[in-house]
Structure 1
Amino acid sequence: MKATARIAAVADAGRTRLVTLRSETPLLVRRTGPRHADGEVEVHLVGGAAGPLGGDRLRIEVTVAAGAHLCVRTVAASLALPGRDGAQSTLDVHATVAAGGSLRWLPEPLIAARGCDHVSRSLVDLEGDASLTWREEVVCGRHDEEPGDARLESTVRHDGRTLMRQDLAVGPRAAGWAGPAVLGGGRATGTLLMVDPLWTEKPPEAAVLGPGAARMPLAGGPAALAAAVGADLREVREALDRAFT
């Protein structure tokens, strides 16, 4: 299956207005929730079919214009499933945020089911004093199940310069993924990236958030990254939630 979802938000008289909201099964986009005090608009991605299944080619394009504020969530976790003949599934996310705009990307986790072969690629371009909250989480298999293969590739650029480049691979074809250099026996992992123009002078300091979690300032921009590994998603989510309180 091949599908693309497009979301575009612009500022209009101090509020945010959605000018593009287009989607195809299984990537169905719906506006949800009340408008926030800062004018932020919230949308949810609703799964219109199971998956991603092996062979699926999915793409999400998000554009936030200058001064607009957008939050993107999903209603449920994404379950990567095997397809015929071991075909690989892909999800490409490309987001751009103009100066003075903000994007909060807060999906539910990706679950790498046994036998899957999935690649998720994210590219975010920020301009000037744009703000970003970007969360990614992975659960290695369903309950009492060995995971399939999943790879997450994330790049965030600020004014054309790379601010963060991160790759994570789990599953039977990822050498050492369960060892101490990667998940250390954990079944879930996640990251939370924050880019805030108010941190230009002093981003949050490095801190240990728990046995498998830490917060680290990033060089090259007003940003910090929190990362956590845990036995389950609850443990990871709790660590990330307190990273920037």
Structure 2
Amino acid sequence: MKATARITAVAEAGRTRLVTLRSETPLLVRKTGPSRADGEVEVHLVGGAAGPLGGDRLRIEVAVGPGARLCVRTVAASLALPGPRRAERASRQSPGDAQSTLDIHATVAAGGSLRWLPEPLIAAKGCDHVSRSLVDLESDASLTWREEVVCGRHGEDPGDASLESTVRLAGRTIMRQDVSVGPRAAGWAGPAVLGGGRATGTLLVVDPLWTEKPPEAAVLGPGAARMPLAGGPAAIAQAVGGDLREVRAALDRAFA
């Protein structure tokens, strides 16, 4: 399945208006609730079908105009699953044919704000999924970007999942991160990666108000820490834990 969702937000009279809200199954986009007092508009991605399934090619495009404020959430976790008859296809097709992909490209103009707060990706047994995110920020743009992955369902070994993220501020890369779990990711469960944990998450915040002094480095718990980033008014929090609740609690403390 191939599907694309597009969201474009612009500022008008101190409020944010959605001028583009287009989607295809399974990437259905819905505006949810009234605008906040600061003018922010919230939308949710609603899963219109199971997945992502092996072979799916999904893409999300987000554009936030000058002064606009947008929050993007999902109504539930994304469950990456193997495609139908994966073993049969693998015998006659290349490995990439059974892989599911999600490409996310977001742009935020000067004075704009994007909060990307989806529920986690769950890497179910047998899946082969790659998520690639690219965020381009102009000077004075604000960003909150959360990514989380859970290694399999309850009592289940995970499939293969990879999250690749790049954030650029005024054309300069301030974050480049890859996280891979699953049978083909060497050492993913070892002390250098998850250390036996079943979930991991990242929360990146870019705030122009931090130009003079971003948050200092801090330990947030046994498997969590916050660190300022070079090259911009930004800081990142990362956490590893036995389950999503533990990871989310640590990330929520990072910028409270």
Secondary structure of the equivalent of 1:190?
strand
Q: Does 1:121 align with 2:121?
A: no
Deviations, residues 24-52 of structure 1 (Å, cap 9, x unaligned): 00000000022111100000000000000
Structure 2 distance, partners of 1:33, 1:163, is 33
In structure 2, what residue type is equivalent to 1:44?
H
Q: Does 1:105 align with 2:116?
A: yes
Deviations, residues 97-147 of structure 1 (Å, cap 9, x unaligned): 000000000000000000000000000000010000000000000000000
Which residue of the partner structure matches residue 74 of structure 1?
74
Query: How do 1:1-245 and structure 2 match up within 5 A?
Result: 1-83=1-83, 84=86, 85=89, 87-245=98-256
In structure 2, what residue type is equivalent to 1:101?
G
Structure 2 distance, partners of 1:200, 1:183, is 32
Structure 1 distance, partners of 2:4, 2:244, is 28
Instruction: Give the number of equivalent residue pairs.
Output: 245
Alpha-carbon RMSD: 0.5
Structure 2 distance, partners of 1:128, 1:116, is 38
Secondary structure of the equivalent of 2:9?
strand
Structure 2 distance, partners of 1:193, 1:239, is 13
Structure 2 distance, partners of 1:114, 1:164, is 29
In structure 1, what residue type is equivalent to 2:189?
A
Normalised by the size of structure 1, how large is the TM-score?
0.99
Structure 1 distance, partners of 2:148, 2:249, is 12
Structure 2 distance, partners of 1:109, 1:120, is 12
User: Percent same amino acid at aligned positions?
Assistant: 89
1:62 offset after TM fit, Å?
Answer: 0.1
Structure 1 distance, partners of 2:249, 2:2, is 35
Structure 1 distance, partners of 2:33, 2:118, is 15
Secondary structure of the equivalent of 2:232?
coil
Deviating above 6 A after TM superposition, structure 1's stretches of 4 or more consecutive aligned residues are none
Structure 2 distance, partners of 1:193, 1:57, is 26
Structure 2 distance, partners of 1:14, 1:174, is 47
Structure 2, unpaired ranges of 5+? 91-97
Structure 2 distance, partners of 1:88, 1:60, is 17
